[in-house]
Structure 1
Amino acid sequence: MSLFKNASFEISIAKPGGLPPPIGAEIAFAGRSNAGKSSAINTLTDHNRLAFVSKTPGRTQLINFFRLQCGAALVDLPGYGYAEVPEKVRLQWQALLERYLRTRENLIGLVVIMDSRHPLKPLDRQMLDWFAPTGRPMHILLTKSDKLSRGEAQKTLLEVRRELAARGGQVTVQLFSSLKKQGMEEVEQTVSGWLASQPFSETEIAPGETNEKKHTPG
């Protein structure tokens, strides 16, 4: 079964203090508003409405947790870079994102969504810089690749990889299309590798277990 299939909504939070207990490994998804993050999540989970797709800020103002069948969580972070958001709200989102990315103990990796036609914008670079000091892996999805010719898509992929080469193996990059459902296997292989390299602690959920089972007195 697909790693992401049958994911279920767990909780939404608006402030760092509302984060759920760190149970199970977490894989975060981040990206500029309208870069295709929600569509990518819906495609990977094979669920049309799991992540809210909108052209205006809405549910993505929150950090949304979706529990995977293996016990890990897919964490949908607020979209960043939306021009019409008031400065106060934008700063609040930034603080929430930065706090989560830098301090969440069971966050094992970050998937960064970038529009393949406009990759590595300043806020994308800032996101990579925020997360880099953790030493954890990052994987970039160059979305909407179906809107480019094959030659243009490959050129963009090579250029982004070349520009990020100085970051070493911490950052990997691929093309992705939600519309064509292309690149799904590569994402799953990457994230599965992250999960396989993480030993489960006593507070984490082993594959096949659930929150309820883990907390049932023995």
Structure 2
Amino acid sequence: MLIKSVELNITAFNKSQYPNDKLPQIAVIGRSNVGKSSFINTIINRRNFARVSARPGKTQGINFYLINKSFYLADLPGYGYAKVSKEMKKQWSLNIETYLNTSEYLIGAVMLVDIRHVPTEDDILMVDYLKKREIPFIIIATKSDKLNKQEIQKSLKAIADTLSVDNEKIITFSSLKRFGIDEAHSALDMFLVNSSNIED
């Protein structure tokens, strides 16, 4: 995938604000401190386009990034951040659930987990939800530069076992060392190709 253009189309706080131009959408999902903004900046090859917050959990709306004027990356609010009120957590959860339940143009999801940690209960629930809704997804194991090769293999097995997914669904990724980019691009391309085949 060659990234030619990127723009932030809108930050949506309710369904009425979602883009309605019928372009396909790919959701980016993960915990508040998992590195979603860094992941997005890396795969679109832009510095600080998606703002990396010093405060996990700051993003409340859904950021719709228009890529190559042909599809969107929908950056969903991070979940699982403890240092916010219950009402704020409830609102974030509502924003995520509303989008995943109602988006007419969602064709796939990129689920981010921190490779250094066993997936949380929230991660398990999210993957189970994606499976139940039959939303195609891949797992991006972020911050892979923090581990050596042996540790990476051990962590990948723990992720696969905990989330009950096949190893081929997991991509090791590092924004710092810039590996896993080609694999992530290929996964996005596959979502788009499969969506086009279904529509045809």
TM-score by length of 2: 0.90
Is the contact made by 2:32 and 2:79 (CA closer than 8 Å) also made in structure 1? yes
Aligned to 2:53: 54
Match of 1:176 among 173, 184, 187: 173
Determine helix, strand or coil for the equivalent of 1:56: coil
Aligned to 2:109: 110
Moved more, 154-163 or 132-141: 154-163
1:140-155 correspondence runs (5 A): 140-155=139-154
CA shift, 1:182, in A, is 0.4
What amino acid sits opposite 1:99 in the alignment? Answer: T
Aligned to 2:129: 130
Rounded to whole Å, the distance in 2 between the matches of 1:113 and 1:176 is 10
CA shift, 1:130, in A, is 2.4
Query: Which whole-Å deviations, capped at 9, do the CAs of 1:24-46 have from their partners, x for residues lacking one?
Result: 11011011011111100011111
Rounded to whole Å, the distance in 2 between the matches of 1:116 and 1:33 is 15
Determine helix, strand or coil for the equivalent of 1:66: strand
Measured at CA, do residues 58 and 144 of structure 1 come closer, stay the same or move farther in structure 2, by a change above 3 Å? closer
Is the contact made by 1:27 and 1:109 (CA closer than 8 Å) also made in structure 2? yes
Rounded to whole Å, the distance in 2 between the matches of 1:59 and 1:192 is 30
Aligned to 2:96: 97
Unmatched tracts of structure 1, length 5 or more: 203-218
Query: Which whole-Å deviations, capped at 9, do the CAs of 1:16-75 have from their partners, x for residues lacking one?
Result: 232221521101101101111110001111111211101315762110001111511111
CA shift, 1:194, in A, is 1.1
Is the contact made by 1:101 and 1:130 (CA closer than 8 Å) also made in structure 2? no
Match of 1:186 among 180, 183, 186: 183
What amino acid sits opposite 1:25 in the alignment? Answer: P
Q: 1:74 aligned to 2:48?
A: no
Match of 2:195 among 178, 195, 198: 198
Is the contact made by 2:127 and 2:163 (CA closer than 8 Å) also made in structure 1? no
Is the contact made by 1:34 and 1:55 (CA closer than 8 Å) also made in structure 2? no
Unmatched tracts of structure 2, length 5 or more: none
What amino acid sits opposite 2:173 in the alignment? Answer: F
Pairwise CA RMSD: 2.2
Rounded to whole Å, the distance in 2 between the matches of 1:59 and 1:84 is 11
Considering only CA atoms, is the larger Rg found in Structure 1 or Structure 2? 1
Q: Number of residues paired by the alignment?
A: 199
CA shift, 1:145, in A, is 0.5
TM-score by length of 1: 0.83
CA shift, 1:10, in A, is 0.6
Is the contact made by 1:52 and 1:60 (CA closer than 8 Å) also made in structure 2? no
Determine helix, strand or coil for the equivalent of 1:198: helix
Rounded to whole Å, the distance in 2 between the matches of 1:86 and 1:163 is 28
Aligned to 1:215: none
Determine helix, strand or coil for the equivalent of 1:67: strand
CA shift, 1:201, in A, is 9.5
Determine helix, strand or coil for the equivalent of 1:199: helix
